[in-house]
Structure 1
Amino acid sequence: MANYTRHKPSWSASPLPNESSSSLSPPPPDLHDANEHTRLLPNRIDSTNVPPGYLDPSDPAVSPYNLFTVRLLRGLTVVFTIFTFIWWVLLLVSAFVTPPGLHVRAGPFYSFAYTSVSLLTLVVLLLFFAVPSKSARILSFVTGGVLLIDVIIILAASRIRHEEGAVGIVSVVWALLVAVWAGVAGRTVKWGKAEEEERLTGRPETRRSVLEWSEVLLSTIALGAIAVVVILMTLTLTLRAIDSGVGPPGERYWVDEYKYQIHLYCQGQATDAEGKRTTTVLIEGGEDPVERGLWQLAEGAIKNGSISRFCFADRPGMAWSDTAPSPLSASMASDVLGETLSRAGETGPWVLVSAGVGSLYSRVFSSRHGKEVKGILMIDPLHEDLLGRVASPGRGFWLWVRGVISPCGFDRILGALLRGRRSADRIWGRASYQSGSTIFAKLQESLVADSLTKRDVASSRAIQDKNTAVVIISSGKQIRKDSEWEDKQRDLSHLTRKLEDWDIVEDAPHRVWDDFKGRELIEKRLRRLVG
């Protein structure tokens, strides 16, 4: 490209031979009558290298920003970016402390992901606003089309619509509008760029400098990556829509002033032959939902006549239960369980069965329901002095990272395509840990484990009824692996004055019921507590 220079408005070069001055290009418009079709800067340097009255194509005055329409579009894009950033920060905070009105029953990660897509799209648009490209426009409209599918899925699937709520719907609709806005803005800037080049240089410029090509390449890569992320999110959302067609075995009940729902399932005879209320085994899951192992154990105990009835409620965020607002401590979860049982019309007497970290929740529940609790059976329980492991900063950060990328569903999509994972696997089975709501529940647990929850458990120990029967069944493998674990199990054996049994199953893992001898022993001890 020739190194053209600009002309002063007072062009004074002589006309070419045999050519009248009237045939020359018209001089630039009067700057005093500036409007959308006038350039912003006057000519500065005389030159005979360009046609009279025109500017060099590389002159800074040759810019789409000369047009009021383009400047308005850029100003609105800046406003949209600020608004989106504020929304993004609020959703980021909601993963740790939920602001009023921003609770999402499926967890905040999908809303956060859609808002991140909006924010990144707007930032890319602003960075490369004056260098529009066809590839960027195509990618923006493709992203918008995929996001339109997401909007349809969320609105059409009643369960997903319930889980995402107003916050999720607003986030995905805004992402759709931003994608369309990016495509329309790019097309408008292209028109403005051609318009100004033709007016100020005599023709639209079809060539690009190395810098412009670099900007086009970067914008294409960035928008292409955003499009891939949105496509992955759509595939994961499709799996969620498929899973939403699988109904829970029990019923969901509104709790906490109708903010979210908790799933409760009960099975067995509520009364005996004389019409008296039978003892109900109330099961609290550990690191996994109750449905993964303990449910089957309880069903087997009913068939064998060891117990007459059992109930279990999924903790907030686990299996079929909605997530709760943050923070969520053990006492809050215990209150939610009590409210759920009350709404379902379930009453004691209870025998509590819990595993791992779930034992902390059972202990809080037991301390608050006094004489209604006949006994507690804890399976390899976690001691409150070891909550620092659950609350480690590294674990919390990793859970947050997993939650942020969970809408892309890398492992869930591959599991469904290559490993035959079914809806049951994703809801409560071996792949349930990949769910955004489950990850959020574990993040909530980690955030308050060594503070609010530890205080709750310590208080519950002080007010625990000392005549409540206690049974502890510990994992031999866990004791051999962790020198501190046995000491803490022994300490829990002094929870009340009425220790029935403390058993160590030598070859059992932390999930003691996965071992045949452990499973038999759990049922045997359970029969004694209920009897």
Structure 2
Amino acid sequence: MNKLWPNRDGHEPASGRDVHPAALGQGNSPPPPHDDYGPDEHTRLLPNRLDSTPYLSPDDPAVSPYNLWTVRLVRVVTVILTCLTFLWWVLLLVSVFVTPPGLHVRGSPFFSFSYASIAFFMLVTELLFFSVPSKSVRVLSIIAAMLLLVDTVVILAVAQTRHEELWVGAASVIWATLIAIWAVAADRTVQWGKSEEEERLTGRQETRRTLLEWSQVLLSSLSLAIIALVVLLMTCTLTLRALDSRLAPPGERYWVDEDKYQIHLYCSGNETNAVGEKVTTVLFEGGDDPVERGLWQFAENAVKNGSISRYCFADRPGMAWSDTAPSPLSASMASDALGETLSRAGEEGPWVLASAGIGSLYSRVFSSRHGQEVRGILMIDPLHEDLLSRVGAPGRGFRLWLQGVISPLGFYRILGALIKGRGSEDRVWGRSSYQSGAAIFAKLQESLVADSLTKRDVVSSRTIQYRTTPLVLISSGVQLRKDSEWEDKQRDLSHLTDNLEDWDIVKKAPHQIWETFEGRELMERRLKKLTRR
């Protein structure tokens, strides 16, 4: 009887076609060795589906890229990167409220926080849809990586952005760039592992997707599209910041607080009069807006009209050309920074303090600490310390924090530049300055300690205020009619010293009294009287 030679897969042949010709020639003579002959027209091109082990179904859970140690290693590394990024994200979130040593940035801290958020959400998206790679996700990740690389170059190449972001912002954007590159590499590795396992276990690459997989691809692509759009808007905002850095400040910037940040100081006018005597300088303090917006023009006109001889103003931290200060920042800290700035600039007074709105609180603290150099105080519709609860309301603080978080997107600043033709002056100190991340951060700092540290500073300053200092109070009639409590507090402020010279109410003037002709004229007369004493 002829003996059948087994197939190459070790099974008996299914039919006589699989019997080797040599096995049919002589009884039980063994066939020649297997390697002595090559494939011919009878050799199977595909496995024997009847007798060999069949391939798995593509829907079998065993068909998974996780079978490969390379894919498993990539996932472990992604988890580790996610944990590290989350810790950095939390640290930057905390630094907005209380700045840890070494984590202070001189510009908006929301930029570095946004880059950390981008890196974190990219990693979370990668982990959620790790086993369902897609080309659209890789393309969007590449776009995000390229935009982040542009941001890295801008931050490191432009002197002003490098000065503002310091190592914290640079490290955040570099890390986000590397994470975007890692997301591309990880997704590509999973795609390779998926193809390898499908070919090995099912015999071919699977091109179809289940409804669940299509849903996952859609969600992951949508998430990456949003991240890419966010990065694009941040790149545009960062470009505007780089362009605005070309706008030189009118004054000089001085290092304060152990050279942690710089304060911008500007002075104009003659230091001495016709007989060589030193003149009294008016030191302006702005309200919610920088001095440059409104009060600067008023001061220039007052010098031209001869009402005052000289004036100075310093931008509070985070406003106009001044850097932001570490958190927390109270009125006494800001007053100390102002005093140090004046000292470094060689400005010694004597002073007449002219302040508006919430800026009057800072001037009052400054006056109590430099009483001998202060020849008079002019308060323009000032804020009373008992109303600081409005500034420090939790709802207002949350809104400011939320505005700060989305400020790197620069919606209004970009639209203002493209559609309304607004330039660098508008964005640095003009009508769009309140939209900058640094200005929002400054207001958030103000709000966080308004009803605690700042209120304590102002109340303490009242007890040591020189009682003989001449005082002039100008109130807004519109504000008094709108807010009955405001009138009571204005009356209380009229007793800040024992030497109240005038309390004027400009009936038709808003809170910014200098915006009306009557208000400007009255302010000039009162300043002229105070400076000529």
Q: TM-score, normalised by structure 2?
A: 0.91
Summarize deviations over 1:109-151 as a string: whole Å, max 9, x none: 0001111000000000001111100000000001001111111
Paired position in structure 1 for 2:15: 17
Summarize deviations over 1:445-469 as a string: whole Å, max 9, x none: 0000000000000000000000111
SS of 2:201 mapped into structure 1: helix
Summarize deviations over 1:244-275 as a string: whole Å, max 9, x none: 11010001111111111110000011223443
Q: Kindly provide the amino acid, as one letter, of the partner of residue 409 in structure 1.
A: G
Q: Kindly provide the amino acid, as one letter, of the partner of residue 303 in structure 1.
A: K
Q: Kindly provide the amino acid, as one letter, of the partner of residue 505 in structure 1.
A: V
Matched, 1:219 2:220: yes
1:56 Cα deviation from its structure 2 partner: 2.0
Q: Kindly provide the amino acid, as one letter, of the partner of residue 121 in structure 1.
A: M
Paired position in structure 2 for 1:86: 87
Paired position in structure 2 for 1:385: 386
Paired position in structure 1 for 2:141: 140
**Contact 1:475–1:507 at 8 Å: present in 2 too?**
yes
Residues 16 and 285 (structure 1 numbering): CA distance in 2 closer, same or farther, change over 3 Å?
A: farther
Residues 295 and 49 (structure 1 numbering): CA distance in 2 closer, same or farther, change over 3 Å?
A: farther
SS of 1:99 mapped into structure 2: coil
- Give, in whole Å, the separation in 2 of the partners of 1:84 and 1:393: 29
1:104 Cα deviation from its structure 2 partner: 1.0
Paired position in structure 1 for 2:162: 161
Q: Kindly provide the amino acid, as one letter, of the partner of residue 184 in structure 1.
A: A
**Contact 2:11–2:51 at 8 Å: present in 1 too?**
no
Summarize deviations over 1:406-439 as a string: whole Å, max 9, x none: 0001111111111121111111111111000000
Aligned counterparts, 1:38-437, within 5 A: 52-437=53-438
SS of 2:370 mapped into structure 1: helix
1:20 Cα deviation from its structure 2 partner: 5.2
**Contact 1:106–1:437 at 8 Å: present in 2 too?**
yes
- Give, in whole Å, the separation in 1 of the partners of 2:77 and 2:164: 32
Summarize deviations over 1:151-183 as a string: whole Å, max 9, x none: 111112110110111000000111111111101
**Contact 1:91–1:112 at 8 Å: present in 2 too?**
yes
- Give, in whole Å, the separation in 2 of the partners of 1:14 and 1:333: 92
Residues 506 and 58 (structure 1 numbering): CA distance in 2 closer, same or farther, change over 3 Å?
A: same
Task: Extract unaligned runs of 5+ from structure 1.
Answer: 1-10, 23-47
- Give, in whole Å, the separation in 2 of the partners of 1:440 and 1:452: 17
Residues 66 and 329 (structure 1 numbering): CA distance in 2 closer, same or farther, change over 3 Å?
A: same
**Contact 2:283–2:313 at 8 Å: present in 1 too?**
yes
Residues 163 and 321 (structure 1 numbering): CA distance in 2 closer, same or farther, change over 3 Å?
A: same
Residues 20 and 345 (structure 1 numbering): CA distance in 2 closer, same or farther, change over 3 Å?
A: farther
SS of 1:95 mapped into structure 2: helix
1:55 Cα deviation from its structure 2 partner: 2.0
- Give, in whole Å, the separation in 2 of the partners of 1:266 and 1:123: 52
Residues 68 and 487 (structure 1 numbering): CA distance in 2 closer, same or farther, change over 3 Å?
A: same
Q: Kindly provide the amino acid, as one letter, of the partner of residue 318 in structure 1.
A: M
Q: Kindly provide the amino acid, as one letter, of the partner of residue 111 in structure 1.
A: S
- Give, in whole Å, the separation in 1 of the partners of 2:397 and 2:367: 28
Paired position in structure 1 for 2:26: none
- Give, in whole Å, the separation in 2 of the partners of 1:290 and 1:316: 13
**Contact 1:471–1:499 at 8 Å: present in 2 too?**
yes
- Give, in whole Å, the separation in 1 of the partners of 2:11 and 2:389: 84
**Contact 1:291–1:429 at 8 Å: present in 2 too?**
yes
- Give, in whole Å, the separation in 2 of the partners of 1:18 and 1:486: 112
Q: Kindly provide the amino acid, as one letter, of the partner of residue 496 in structure 2.
A: L
Summarize deviations over 1:323-350 as a string: whole Å, max 9, x none: 0000000000000000010111111110
- Give, in whole Å, the separation in 2 of the partners of 1:325 and 1:520: 39
- Give, in whole Å, the separation in 1 of the partners of 2:418 and 2:338: 36
**Contact 2:472–2:503 at 8 Å: present in 1 too?**
yes
Summarize deviations over 1:349-383 as a string: whole Å, max 9, x none: 10000000000000000000011001110000000
SS of 2:501 mapped into structure 1: strand
Give the share of equivalent positions with the same residue, in percent.
Answer: 70
1:277 Cα deviation from its structure 2 partner: 2.2
1:62 Cα deviation from its structure 2 partner: 1.5
1:53 Cα deviation from its structure 2 partner: 4.9
Paired position in structure 2 for 1:443: 444
- Give, in whole Å, the separation in 2 of the partners of 1:263 and 1:94: 24
Q: CA RMSD in A?
A: 1.6
Task: Extract unaligned runs of 5+ from structure 2.
Answer: 1-8, 21-48
Q: Kindly provide the amino acid, as one letter, of the partner of residue 116 in structure 1.
A: S
Rg comparison, structure with higher value: 2
Residues 285 and 374 (structure 1 numbering): CA distance in 2 closer, same or farther, change over 3 Å?
A: same
**Contact 2:63–2:197 at 8 Å: present in 1 too?**
yes
Residues 20 and 365 (structure 1 numbering): CA distance in 2 closer, same or farther, change over 3 Å?
A: farther
Q: Kindly provide the amino acid, as one letter, of the partner of residue 290 in structure 1.
A: V
Q: TM-score, normalised by structure 1?
A: 0.91
- Give, in whole Å, the separation in 2 of the partners of 1:50 and 1:14: 8
**Contact 1:50–1:56 at 8 Å: present in 2 too?**
no
**Contact 2:477–2:506 at 8 Å: present in 1 too?**
yes
Summarize deviations over 1:282-325 as a string: whole Å, max 9, x none: 01010100000111111111111111111100000000001000
**Count of matched residue pairs:** 496
Q: Kindly provide the amino acid, as one letter, of the partner of residue 123 in structure 1.
A: V
**Contact 2:11–2:52 at 8 Å: present in 1 too?**
no
Paired position in structure 2 for 1:524: 525
